Amino acid sequence: MRRCYPNHPHTKVANLMSDAIIGLCEIELYLPGISSLKEKRSIIKSMLTKMRNKFNIASAEVGKLDVWQSSTIAITTVSNSSTHCQQTMQKVIKWIESHYPDAMITSHHSEIL
């Protein structure tokens, strides 16, 4: 087994900077027709699964878990391009608006990390 000696003059220091760009988007939803948490969770779970499969993103419900008619979901994508991350997040928002018209997006906030 080789040992690594960080202070030795012949030890190469790895580049600690990464080329990965992370896009994060938090989306606030209002679901006016929902009458129970069970119904809300069913709709949100279906939405998140379909988004993951269609856009190859990570997604989760991150807020308002115990509120019937509201939800906060987060999506994230990783790329080597901030433009690609922005485009993916915008496509997801448009997809939600067109495929879930009863889930109104009240606000969304995107960040590139």
Domain segments of the chain as ranges: 26-112
The sign of the torsion formed by the CA atoms of 83, 84, 88, 94 equals positive
pLDDT digits (tens, 9 = 90+) for 20-79: 999 999 999 999 989 999 999 999 999 999 999 999 999 999 999 999 999 999 999 999
Residue 17 pLDDT level (bands cut at 50, 70, 90): low
For the CA atoms of 78, 83, 86, 88, the dihedral, rounded to the nearest 10 degrees, stands at -70
CATH for 26-112?
3.30.70.1120
Residue 68: CB atoms within 10 A of its CB come to: 14
Has this prediction a pTM greater than 0.85?
no
Query: Residues, the chain, total?
Result: 113
Show Cβ contacts of residue 31 under 8 Å, excluding neighbours closer than 6 positions: 40, 43, 68, 69, 70, 71, 102, 103, 104
